[in-house]
Amino acid sequence: MCGIVGYVGKKQAVPFLLSGLKRLEYRGYDSAGIAVVSGAEVFQRKTKGKIHDLVQLIGTRPLPEATVGIAHTRWATHGAPNDINAHPHASCDKKFMVVHNGIIENYLKLKEALLRQGHRFVSQTDTEVLAHLIEKYYRGNLEKAVIRALQDVEGSFALGVVSSLEPGKVVCARQDSPLIAADGPEGLFIASDVPAILEHCRRVVYLKDKQVAVLCGRTLTVLGSNGKKIPVKFDKITMDAESARKGGYPHFMLKEIYEQPQVLRKLFSSGRREIKSLMCPRDIKQIVVVACGTAYHAGLVGKYVIESLARLPVWVDLSSEFRYRHPLVDRRTLVIAVSQSGETADTLAAVREAKKNGARIVSICNVVGSSLTRESDQIFYTLAGPEIGVASTKAYTAQLGVFYMLGLELALRRKKMTETSYRQAWKSLLRIPALQEEVLRSRSQIQRVASRHHHFGSFLFLGRNINYPSALEGALKLKEISYIPAEGYAAGEMKHGPIALIDEYRAVVCIAVQSKIYDKMISNIQEIRARSGRIIAIATKGDHHIRLHTPEVIYTPKTDEFLSPLLVALPLQILAYDIAVFRGCNVDQPRNLAKSVTVE
């Protein structure tokens, strides 16, 4: 969601802060702002719009030289996106400035109390309450005022604070929202995520819930919620700066689509050994997958894989629903939590609910040191590297890769598969990256299809069996980045509603790869054709029969139907990407979306 950057050092703060915000654009935002401390004042600039709008504002209203500051990109939750509601927010006396990511759940109650005490508010946000609380409790020590203010707060937060009363200092804190502090040769930094500080630091502290960090001079201090010092534990940043750049591609999303074969090669190479360490209850009775968005679709494929191979019942729940329905999990349940960022608020809440009932937690995650990894009994990293594009691509297929490895391992342990079958299955899995490269080499074919369909007003995606989740994911990708209404359905459900919408103005993407239910998919295609629907088929290379039903065919290489989601994902991603580009959409930063959904 929102992005936070802070700097304390000897160099000019503004360039560091603006470049950090630029690297957090993938988180999604509608306004941006900055505050720096110079002399005995805090100077602020903020605006609705993009970071370049903030840069232009600073160009017309320059900030003074300053070596301490905080900056923010806002994704609106309380109050409309406008200049007033943009962060930073100030106290009455303008001596305290706050940037914040999260939701203050009791802000109305706090605001009413502060108004009665004479405080004046100018915005509609929940964040402004924090600045006034810190002002109220300040007694000569900024970090103590922050700690005391947070005792009144209910909700989630990551925040950064500066004050003209202590001009050389940035104080930050977190609760259920990601925040890091880092040390580099040019100074000390805080940020919502590693890419913001990647070019300046190689040592980072992943702050835990209820921790407060104080950056002053060259000293980074971490405090508990009681104000007592906690030993600072630095982790080495393993991510390289180049991985967070476009590398010659027009968009991060396209770059990340093309990185998928190498991601899977790396994952299968190291993961084959890692998966052997899977800690699973001996008397396991069920697996429950909790996830949101694209990760949820990966979980649905995982259900097919694990149930088919290991013959274990698997339930897949949306994290946002799981915690509210009194889930039936216990110590004999393995809960698999899936999240690219490891900071998805609903998934973290679902994990905590499952832990209360004694379930073992295994997470599939891409970000080292994230909140989810700290909540889990065991972690399987997807090793996909930074995924900057808001629409997930390489993280999705990497999540699928982990599910295939888990399915094979559980099948072997439960004696549902012989050693010979296990080795043969792994051979087939290891061929997937090369087959993905074959798909990528045919991008021009997909571009031509996109050029003929980008004007359609709505899309329907149909799949069967293990590719029903692929249809859901294809629809999600298209609507995310092109803003075209799109639905994913199990093809067998077409006559139970969606068929009413089919006419010459609706495009229908049919996943018709070779499988045991291929003929049923052809029947669906014939029904669509009879109603003048525009059919785009995703088929297996060598299938000439499909062209009798539609001229618009995107071919994928031959592989077992069971592994086909790892291939089908790529043409669906490319189709969505190219349609969005033809429509002039901002592919990497689609409107209203955030890469990491850190509030419920």
519-538, pLDDT tens digit by residue? 999 999 999 999 998 999 99
| Model pLDDT, residue 202 | 87
Question: Do 3-243 and 246-430 have matching folds?
Answer: no
User: How many angstroms from the chain centroid is the CA of residue 518?
Assistant: 34
pLDDT at residue 242 above 70? no
Q: Residue 573, SS3?
A: helix
CATH superfamily, domain at 3-243: Aminohydrolase, N-terminal nucleophile (Ntn) domain (3.60.20.10)
Domain boundaries, the chain: 3-243, 246-430, 438-588
Query: What's the rounded Cα separation, in Å, for the pair 513 and 523?
Result: 14
Quote the tokens at residue 495. Answer: 């006559």
Q: How far apart are CA 399 and CA 381, in angstroms?
A: 9
Mean pLDDT, range 578-584, rounded to an integer = 97
Whether residue 156 has pLDDT greater than 90: no
Of 466 and 273, which is predicted with more confidence?
466
pLDDT at 241: 64
Q: 39: which residues sit within 8 A by CB, 6+ positions away?
A: 64, 164, 167
Per-residue model confidence (pLDDT) at position 1? 62
pLDDT top residue among 543 and 195:
543
pLDDT attached to residue 50: 92
pLDDT value at residue 599: 61
With CA atoms as reference, report the closest residue to 87 among 170, 197, 5: 5
Q: What CATH superfamily classification does 246-430 receive?
A: Glucose-6-phosphate isomerase like protein; domain 1 (3.40.50.10490)
595 is catalytic: yes
- Tell whether the model's pLDDT for residue 321 goes beyond 80: yes
pTM, entire model: 0.86
Burial class of 273 by CB neighbour count within 10 A (0 to 12, 13 to 18, 19+) = exposed
- Choose, from 2, 292, 365, 585, the residue flagged as catalytic: 2
Q: Is the pLDDT of residue 244 over 80?
A: no
Q: What is the pLDDT of residues 249-277, one digit of tens each?
A: 999 999 999 999 999 999 999 888 888 88
pLDDT, the chain, mean: 93
Give the per-residue pLDDT at 27.
76
Lowest-pLDDT choice from 5-9, 454-458, 478-482, 588-592: 588-592
pLDDT higher at 556 or 24 = 556
Please give the Cα distance from 207 to 240 (Å, whole number). Answer: 21
549 has a pLDDT exceeding 80 = yes
pLDDT at res. 29: 84
Q: What is the pLDDT of residue 154?
A: 93
> Across the beta sheet with 333-339, what order do the strands follow?
314-318, 286-291, 333-339, 360-365, 378-381
Q: Strand, coil or helix: what is 191?
A: strand
CATH of 438-588, one of 3.40.50.10490, 3.40.1180.10, 3.40.50.800, 3.40.50.620: 3.40.50.10490
Whether 88 and 36 have beta carbons less than 8 Å apart is answered as no
**Catalytic one of 22, 266, 394, 595:** 595
At residue 272, the pLDDT reads 82
Confidence of residue 600 (pLDDT cuts 50, 70, 90): low
pLDDT at residue number 69: 97
pLDDT tens profile 72-101: 998 888 788 899 999 999 999 999 999 999
Bond prior to 551 in cis (omega within 30° of 0): no
pLDDT of residue 598 exceeding 70: no
pLDDT one-digit tens code per residue, 480-515:
999 999 999 999 999 999 899 899 889 999 999 999
Query: Looking at residue 177, what DSSP letter applies?
Result: S
Whether 2 is a known active-site residue: answer: yes
Rounded distance between C-alpha atoms, residue 181 and residue 495, angstroms: 54
Q: How does 229-257 read in b/e, with b if 16+ C-beta sit within 10 Å?
A: eeeeeeeebebeeebbbeeeeebbbbbbb
Angle (CA) 356 358 362, round 5°: 100
Res 454: pLDDT: 96
Q: What percent of the chain has pLDDT over 70?
A: 98
**Two tokens at 548?**
């009798």
